[in-house]
Amino acid sequence: MTPGRGKLYIVGIGPGHPDQMTVAAQKAIASSRYIVGNATYLDQIKSIIADQTIITSSMGKEIARAREALELASGNDNVSIISGGDAGIYGMAGIALEIADKTDADVDIEVVPGVTAASAAASILGSPITGDFAVISLSDLLTPWEDIERRLSSAAASDFVITLYNPKSRGRNTNFGRSIEIIKRHRKGSVPVGIVKDAFRGGESAVLTTLGDLLDFDDFVDMHTIIIIGNSESKLSGSMIITPRGYHRKYEY
Ligand code: SAH
């Protein structure tokens, strides 16, 4: 990095509460003159914002947001573009780096990782993603629905624990039900499922159910919700889901 040159931080700010933000994310934000992000995420970090200039942009305006952040960072000031959870998981890192690449932007860029919704929700549910798990978004805004169906089917058939991001949003209410039907073709109805809404935010709530009963909670599931579907070895212990790592195959305990 050249002294006096600006830098673009693409920062994952975690699931909600500032305690779940990394120190590196806090430092990146503190060192920035400009903070670019949508209103929900800016609200999440308001307690650590001092006199930075805030540039709010709306959901769905990611390309404009990335361009603006790159432009600002081509001067002498640091800029943080913020994403919820981890910026590299359905976040701003991909599009910001794609635009930097396409435009040959002469900007130093650092991606700062964050606690993603899957690990935040898993911690609330116990230890459901201890071993191999698949992460699938049900949003077909940017991914063809056929690809999503194929991935759901393969992950379910391969006995991956499955975490579902973006289960619903305005105008996309049927994807969730269709997805669960696909998973059920390959997996017993008795496997435990955790639904977590607003992890580490006000109004946090969690529901434990089974794959067979999951659609009874269709109305509870919304765009602030993540779902973790256990595999054939996942089990309930009190109010926790445990997916054994495999120690029982090797040790007595
Ligand atoms: N970059 C984010 C994901 C963005 S996609 C991350 O790494 O977590 C948005 C989806 O993530 C939501 O529809 C929801 O499924 C999930 N999500 C994000 N934050 C969440 C939270 N605090 N609680 C529950 N689900 C969350």
Which run of H or of E encompasses 241? strand 240-242
Ligand 1 within 6 A of CB of 192: no
Domain ranges of the chain: 7-115, 118-242
Q: How far is the CA of 203 from the centre of ligand 1 (A)?
A: 15
Per-residue pLDDT tens listing for the chain (253 residues): 555 689 999 999 999 999 999 999 999 999 999 999 988 899 899 999 989 999 987 767 889 989 999 999 999 999 999 999 999 999 999 999 999 999 999 999 999 999 999 999 999 999 999 999 999 999 999 999 999 999 999 999 999 999 999 999 877 789 999 999 999 999 999 999 999 999 999 999 999 999 999 999 999 999 999 999 999 999 999 999 999 999 999 999 9
- The answer to whether residues 107 and 78 touch, using CB atoms and an 8 Å cutoff, is no
Q: What is the pLDDT of residue 1?
A: 53
Superfamily name with CATH number, domain 118-242:
Tetrapyrrole methylase, C-terminal domain (3.30.950.10)
Q: What is the pLDDT of residue 3?
A: 58
Ligand 1 within 6 A of CB of 20: no
Q: Which residues of 207-224 are buried (b: 16+ CB within 10 A; e: fewer)?
A: bebbbeebeeeeeebeeb
**Angle value at C-alpha 123, between 122 and 126, nearest 5 degrees:** 80
Q: What is the pLDDT of residue 4?
A: 65
What 3-state DSSP class applies to 31?
A: coil
Q: What is the pLDDT of residue 208?
A: 98
Ligand 1 within 6 A of CB of 88: no
Mutate to test the pocket of ligand 1, among 137, 173, 224, 229 (most ligand atoms within 8 A of CB): 224
Q: Which atom of ligand 1 is nearest to the CA of 169?
A: 13
Mutate to test the pocket of ligand 1, among 21, 226, 227, 229 (most ligand atoms within 8 A of CB): 226
- The answer to whether residues 90 and 135 touch, using CB atoms and an 8 Å cutoff, is no
CA distance 53 to 146: 42
Topology classification of domain 7-115: Cobalt-precorrin-4 Transmethylase; domain 1 (3.40.1010)
Q: Which atom of ligand 1 is nearest to the CA of 114?
A: 7
What 3-state DSSP class applies to 13?
A: coil
The DSSP result for 144-208, as a single string, is -HHHHHHHHHHHHHTT-EEEEE----TT--SHHHHHHHHHHTTS-TTSEEEEEESTTSTT-EEEE
CA distance 117 to 104: 32
Specify the residue with its C-alpha closest to ligand 1, atom 11. Answer: 165
Ligand 1 within 6 A of CB of 117: yes
* Claim: this prediction has a pTM higher than 0.75: yes
- The answer to whether residues 175 and 167 touch, using CB atoms and an 8 Å cutoff, is yes
The structure tokens listed for 216 are: 């009874």
Q: What is the pLDDT of residue 187?
A: 98
- The answer to whether residues 100 and 111 touch, using CB atoms and an 8 Å cutoff, is no
Q: Do domains 7-115 and 118-242 have the same CATH topology?
A: no
